[in-house]
Amino acid sequence: MHDLRTWTSDVHRTVDDTPYGGGPGMVMRPEPWGQALDAVGAGTLVVPSPVGKPFTQADAHELAALDHLIFACGRYEGIDQRVIDDAASRMPVREVSLGDYVLFGGEVAVIVIMEAVTRLLPGVLGNADSLTEESHAAGLLEAPVYTKPAAWRDREVPDILRSGDHGRIARWRRDQSLLRTAARRPDMMASYPPSSLDKADRKA
Ligand SMILES: Nc1cc(-c2ccc3cc[nH]c3c2)n[nH]1
């Protein structure tokens, strides 16, 4: 963690200023950011932003494979664009959005990204199999999950899950994933490769 004010030189340790072109709020000054990024060295710079590329599980896997991640947490109306442009001349930069809503700053977004990335690192999750079954891993939403008791408030666990027939259970789960994804995330269905449907059919 680095305090951006470390790289200020005025008595008030100023990190923001008014936006060129007018408009509400303040913009983060380039000088402190430039010196801070120089100081932390090269890596892949991850910048949470409302205007970034939507962050996906695939992005989490890509970041988990990298040696050095640098997270830039902005505040106010954002960071002077020249900071991003200057950094991109020296290192990979990823501006990422967590969703179509606006936060106060990048800190919470960085916490979310760090959790999504670190849980993919070898040895972090107790059961690595969880990574292959979870939502978004196979391009679909996960099937519903159940545990004991078999009946709870007059609601029974689907019989198939108690049948011991693992082939039929796998098929049921895949079908439930497809139904759930089609209902809640038709955008994911659009990119779900039909070829893998054939493979799953063959497997089950
Ligand atoms: N997905 C998403 C990111 C943000 C975000 C990220 C950084 C800053 C800096 C100032 N406001 C910010 C907002 N809002 N929503």
- 125 inside domain: no
Please, are residues 63 and 44 in contact by the beta-carbon 8 Å criterion? yes
- 159 inside domain: yes
- Please give the pLDDT value at position 21: 98
Considering the chain, what is the average pLDDT of its residues? 93
Closest residue CA from atom 2 of ligand 1: 50
Check pLDDT > 70 for residue 64.
yes
- Please give the pLDDT value at position 143: 97
Alpha carbon distances (Å) from 160 to 130, 151, 173, 178, 184: 21, 14, 10, 17, 23
| Cα 61 to ligand 1 centroid, rounded to whole Å | 22
- Please give the pLDDT value at position 202: 47
What is the token pair recorded at 95?
A: 């501006």
| Cα 49 to ligand 1 centroid, rounded to whole Å | 4
Closest to 92 measured CA to CA, from 135, 46, 130, 138: 46
- Please give the pLDDT value at position 126: 82
- Please give the pLDDT value at position 23: 98
Report H helices in 80-126: 81-88, 107-118
Do the strands 155-156 and 151-152 form a parallel or antiparallel pair, or are they unpaired?
A: antiparallel
Closest ligand 1 atom, CA of 104? 11
**Residues within 6 Å of ligand 1 by CB:** 48-50, 74-76, 78, 97-99, 101-103, 105-106, 109
CATH number at residue 69: 3.40.1280.10
Closest residue CA from atom 11 of ligand 1: 105
Which of 75, 102, 107, 112 best tests ligand 1's pocket when mutated (most atoms within 8 Å of CB)? 102
Closest ligand 1 atom, CA of 74? 9
Q: Which helix (H) or strand (E) holds 50?
A: strand 44-54
Q: Are residues 47 and 85 in the same domain?
A: yes
Taking residues 170-199, report their average pLDDT.
Answer: 85
| Cα 185 to ligand 1 centroid, rounded to whole Å | 24
- 30 inside domain: yes
- Please give the pLDDT value at position 129: 72
Q: Which of 2-6, 106-110, 130-134, 186-190 has the lowest mean pLDDT?
A: 130-134
Number of structural domains (the chain) is 2
Could you tell me the pLDDT band of residue 136, with boundaries at 50, 70 and 90? confident
Q: Are residues 103 and 144 in the same domain?
A: no
Please, are residues 87 and 39 in contact by the beta-carbon 8 Å criterion? no
Please, are residues 95 and 55 in contact by the beta-carbon 8 Å criterion? no
- 124 inside domain: no
pTM of the predicted model, to two decimals?
0.90
Taking residues 51-74, report their average pLDDT.
Answer: 97
Taking residues 166-172, report their average pLDDT.
Answer: 98
Closest ligand 1 atom, CA of 103? 14
Domain hosting 175: range is 137-203
| Cα 14 to ligand 1 centroid, rounded to whole Å | 20
